[in-house]
Chain A
Amino acid sequence: DIQMTQSPSSLSASVGDRVTITCRASQSISYYLNWYQQKPRKAPKLLIYAASSLQSGVPSRFSGSGSGTDFTLTISSLQPEDFATYYCQQSYSTPPYTFGQGTKLEIK
């Protein structure tokens, strides 16, 4: 299986900050990398697919980049509603699709 490792595991930031979360794959996955946001007791929400494509309806302050093994999710200016847990997921090799362990973004 392809292992996905996110860093950091948790992060404290303030409204208005620029935040970057990193995801590393255990082998090359080209650009088959997706990002999800999950709020407590809610289902995950797709933010970014294919490394850098913004899902319809997602604010443009979210962006993704990377290819191969290293990827980043950037939030350009944190809003109060962005405090959540973020997961990366590879869809290059199936089965199985695999997720990172999550990054919890908290208010400083």
Chain B
Amino acid sequence: QVQLQESGPGLVKPSETLSLTCTVSGYSISSGYYWGWIRQPPGKGLEWIGSIYHSGSTYYNPSLKSRVTMSVDTSKNQFSLKLTSVTAADTAVYYCAREKGLIGDLRGVFDIWGQGTVVTVSS
């Protein structure tokens, strides 16, 4: 079955860049679907960061757009997130997830999630 696994540093210094990778197993990214990042600050709700297609087409949350870059590496079956100029407000559990479909009411529905990775922003 399809599985997602986040990886990356658990501690990032303020003003630096947060970099995370999501490795997909059980499915080839280049076969389709949008792949997204969602985060959850401690004790708070969920915030969608952005999504990427295997072609590299992206769409981001406007509130983070100036600091976010997502990319895909089909050869490694991975997609990645970079968030620049981080502050303590970026401390969160970061999840990668798959959008259920490409069109209509399946777009933006996250049906498969990674287990999440904790990122703390602190000096």
Interface residues of A (CB under 8 A from B): 1, 31-32, 34, 36, 42-46, 49-50, 53, 55, 87, 89, 91, 94-102
> Which residues of chain B come closer than 8 Å to A101, judged between CB atoms?
45
How close is A8's CB to chain B, nearest CB, in angstroms?
15
> Which residues of chain A come closer than 8 Å to B10, judged between CB atoms?
none
A96 touches B62 (CB 8 A): yes
Query: When A and B form their complex, which 9 residue pairs have the shortest distance between CB atoms, in order from nearest?
Result: A91-B108, A43-B113, A50-B105, A96-B61, A97-B48, A99-B46, A49-B109, A97-B108, A46-B111
> Which residues of chain A come closer than 8 Å to B63, judged between CB atoms?
96
Indicate whether A44 sits within 8 Å of B108 (C-beta atoms), given known contacts A95-B60, A95-B62, A96-B63.
no
Size bin of chain B's contact surface: 20 to 34
Secondary structure call for the A interface: loop
> Which residues of chain A come closer than 8 Å to B114, judged between CB atoms?
43
Interface residues of B (CB under 8 A from A): 45-48, 50, 59-63, 65, 95, 97, 100, 105-111, 113-116
A91 touches B107 (CB 8 A): yes
A31 touches B115 (CB 8 A): no
> Which residues of chain A come closer than 8 Å to B111, judged between CB atoms?
46, 49, 55
